[in-house]
Chains A and B, each alone.
Chain A
């Protein structure tokens, strides 16, 4: 079967790739484009380790077909930091030990960034429910939730 040609934008870069009709966006990112920061923990949309944004909307890339990226804008973990500066969430995760093994971290950061873009002042409950689609087995979520709340406060302060 002929491959499908996809023209998309990934982390601000115009990008073209070929895929099979059945390929997920996660397959295209990891195996075709070499962007292995997005992880596959389940392939069924239950763990959130593959979280990316599609036109600013948080999605599980394992549940999205690669062909659906055509004409849209994708953001992945690889696009989160500037060359010389981490995103405030990345920096806070480091400083507050909000990661252990790190496999859920890319998805967790992409999801947390998406939350703060919508809600710069989330309550603990809002953070917990927003991140409920991102499984972490190492941390018990305590330090992750704190890091997101503290980053939100820092970013609000910086925006004043």
Chain B
């Protein structure tokens, strides 16, 4: 598509859902109510690890106002020895995460739920449930979980033939790393740790569920996929998918954390048992204690290079916390870590480690920031060792079209080198820092991006406007981008297009809003549908004019006769064709469903300036620029928004965010006061360098943009702190106590103060 001729693609249109959101009208999950609705609360484990000997709910059931009680016994039983995969999840683990079965595995683990006429009575009834425990020793940190005498969470889990908390491994090998390191002039090896961090969506998990006596079920909830909610609820409750209508409420942030269920199946069973619609809303403390953060990690990375900067070998070992049940993102850590570079010899190994923490959930490029933190930190030290500019070192080794990546693909046309070149040429990178204890850091990052299943329906209304329905909850402005594309293809005004998110009964299966896939995949099916609609419109005009459809062209929102007929008939608008639709064959509309492929990976390079207050240990970000190949920016404002939001999360991960556990195995900071996400006064403006190397496998050139912006952040900040202080700090977060401790341990810096 010719950029210059685009009327809507690339324009900063006003999002279709915007007016509802700035006036308080937009309906999020917790805003829903239903006639006769009751409320449910969850009883949670007071122990990080214990066998459940018995659960007695009789006193709770007897409390006036209580309408239903549910425990794991009310749900479909998935034995531990038979996998039940659904996407990347396993229903064996999902069911045990939702309600504990044989054991409680973390402090806050749900055990039972009560529905009552109000929240207070539901909470009071939860306290009346009597649970007999056999309390067990617990392990929180990776080193404790993999120690020889570690308490084993799951008897069925074996590693090297022995009971173990290592749930799985993943290995990528390319070439021969030993031979590679033998060629190296310089080898740097370092070990790192990162803490678990939460997605931090401001909207807590919530749902309202109504089950009729015939099992017809309506779910109103906030998630990153109404079809995921339907499927998981069906699996866990045994109600067939065709009987469940999952309605996607507006979602108040997800970042990966709402790609699984916590509440919906529980509310479904409680509604079924009570005969009443049931509402559940988590508190922030429940979100922090019992929903998935991303993994904490420990890793070791070794990189070898020739004197000229050519990297000859890279090796990484990544241990990731899965929480209490298997499934940490080792694929993201081990797979993405070396992906920006053309390295002949790579060995990357990941360990999935369970411990007595809440089960992890996806978080924006799951695992990739952990891998990048280690690799990008080692690269920075390598650049110092070689006396090379860190960006030039990256550019010299940049992956490009034809590079074979260790995790599998041979890259098509990619824009990684362009992100580094843009950073090198930028005003930001070329403006010297002048203040004391100021420093600049750079880092790059990669994310796979995803395609997968999407469905769309494009209908022409009787008055000649357009309704597009897709199946993906809109988190960051995807409706606006879809409207831009539809208006462009049809040659009509943006305001004529309305974009809806269908419920599971009104649109075909569509996979999660996740993996940076929504605009990539939905644009493909919307494009196919719109092209079919255009063919129909041409056919209708041909019928009216009595000519062959091949003699009609669609241009500028109108059907026009061509060739010998071009002067015979006046062109017909969408409105005119819609008015005549019934006479020419009936309603005009088309749908498309597809398992989309060709997403291709995304790359970014970040430049970060910091200033360190060496008395207080506070690191302030002074300036930040994110350079990213976005393929094609369909709506530049929301592309920038993804970049800026990801950068802010990366800064939070680097500087302050962490789960702090006390000696009893409990999270000590389960709220926004002590779990310190960046606030407005913590950040500067976040600059974006948007690079557009169109994805050759997409009709509009789209690449996923949402996740890559988080990947380089923690390393860029850490490298900037090194530049400011001359100290390599290898453990996140770079919070005031940790930075002060690093300064105190460094006598030369103390002397400089």
Contact = CB atoms under 8 A, between A and B. Distances in A.
Contacts of A69: none
B535 interface: no
B21 A76 contact: no
Interface string B1-27: 000000000001011011101111111
Contact of B680 (A77, A90, A144): A144
A142 B24 contact: no
Contacts of A109: 22
A139 B683 CA distance: 11
A138 B476 CA distance: 8
Contacts of B681: 125, 128-129, 131-132
A138 B253 contact: yes
Choose among A47, A81, A97, A125 the residue with the greatest number of B CB atoms under 10 Å from its CB.
A97
Contact of B23 (A90, A97, A129): A90
Interface in B245-260: 250-255
A142 to B, nearest CB: 5
A141 interface: yes
A13 B591 CA distance: 47
Contact of B22 (A99, A135, A146): A99
B22 A137 contact: no
B477 A103 contact: no
Contacts of A76: 24
B672 A94 contact: no
Choose among A43, A47, A127, A138 the residue with the greatest number of B CB atoms under 10 Å from its CB.
A138
B475 A40 contact: no
Contacts of A146: 685
A44 interface: yes
B692 interface: no
A103 B202 contact: yes
Choose among B27, B252, B640, B673 the residue with the greatest number of A CB atoms under 10 Å from its CB.
B252
Contacts of A78: 23-24
B13 to A, nearest CB: 9
A42 B284 contact: yes
A138 B645 contact: yes
Contacts of A128: 680-681, 683
A12 interface: no
Given A38-B24, A132-B679, A137-B645, A47 B672 contact: yes
A46 B19 CA distance: 26
B77 interface: no
Nearest to B284: A42
B686 A47 contact: no
Contacts, number: 177
A53 to B, nearest CB: 14
A134 to B, nearest CB: 7
B677 interface: yes
A101 B475 contact: yes
A143 B252 CA distance: 18
B519 interface: no
Interface in B173-227: 199-204
A140 B648 contact: yes
A46 to B, nearest CB: 4
Given A80-B23, A138-B645, A43 B252 contact: no
Contacts of A36: 24, 27-28, 30-31
B344 to A, nearest CB: 37
Contact of A137 (B21, B24, B202, B682): B202
Given A49-B202, A103-B252, A137-B202, A143 B23 contact: no
A145 B679 CA distance: 12
B517 to A, nearest CB: 17
A135 B677 contact: yes
A81 B644 contact: no
A89 B26 CA distance: 17
Interface in B668-706: 671-673, 677-683, 685-686
Contacts of B644: 139-140, 142-143
Nearest to B281: A40
A39 B202 contact: yes
A70 B145 CA distance: 55
Contacts of B200: 137
A47 B475 CA distance: 19
Number of contact residues on A: which range applies?
A: 35 or more
Contacts of A94: 14-15, 18-19, 22
A132 B17 CA distance: 26
Interface string A65-84: 00000000000111011000
A96 interface: yes
Given A94-B18, A144-B680, A102 B26 contact: yes
Choose among B24, B646, B673, B680 the residue with the greatest number of A CB atoms under 10 Å from its CB.
B680
Nearest to B252: A103
B274 interface: no
B252 A102 contact: yes
Contacts of A132: 679-682
Interface string A27-45: 0001000011111111110
A104 B15 CA distance: 17
A46 B648 CA distance: 18
A94 to B, nearest CB: 4
Contacts of B254: 101
Choose among B201, B681, B683 the residue with the greatest number of A CB atoms under 10 Å from its CB.
B681
B318 interface: no
Given A137-B200, A139-B641, A105 B22 contact: yes
Contacts of A42: 284, 671-672
B638 interface: yes
B449 interface: no
B637 interface: yes
Choose among A93, A100, A129, A140 the residue with the greatest number of B CB atoms under 10 Å from its CB.
A140
Contact of A139 (B21, B281, B645): B645
B8 to A, nearest CB: 15
Contacts of B54: none
Contacts of B500: none
B680 A134 contact: yes
Given A44-B284, A142-B686, A143-B641, A100 B476 contact: yes
Interface string B80-123: 00000000000000000000000000000000000000000000
A22 to B, nearest CB: 8
A96 B13 CA distance: 9
A40 B21 contact: no
A100 B477 contact: yes
A44 B672 contact: yes
Choose among B25, B202, B203 the residue with the greatest number of A CB atoms under 10 Å from its CB.
B202
B283 interface: yes
B475 A77 contact: no
A132 B683 CA distance: 10
B447 to A, nearest CB: 18
Contacts of A103: 28, 201-203, 250, 252-253
A97 B671 contact: no
B259 to A, nearest CB: 15
Contacts of A133: 679
B673 A46 contact: yes
A86 B202 contact: no
A58 interface: no
12 contacts: A35-B24, A36-B28, A39-B30, A40-B281, A41-B203, A41-B204, A43-B284, A94-B15, A97-B15, A101-B254, A103-B201, A136-B680
Interface of A: 30, 35-44, 46-47, 49, 76-78, 80-81, 86, 90, 93-97, 99-106, 109, 125, 127-129, 131-146
Given A94-B18, A137-B202, 16 more contacts: A39-B202, A40-B30, A40-B204, A41-B672, A42-B284, A78-B24, A86-B19, A97-B641, A99-B18, A100-B641, A101-B250, A135-B679, A136-B680, A137-B201, A139-B648, A143-B637
Top 3 nearest A-B pairs (CB, nearest first) are A37-B24, A103-B252, A102-B21
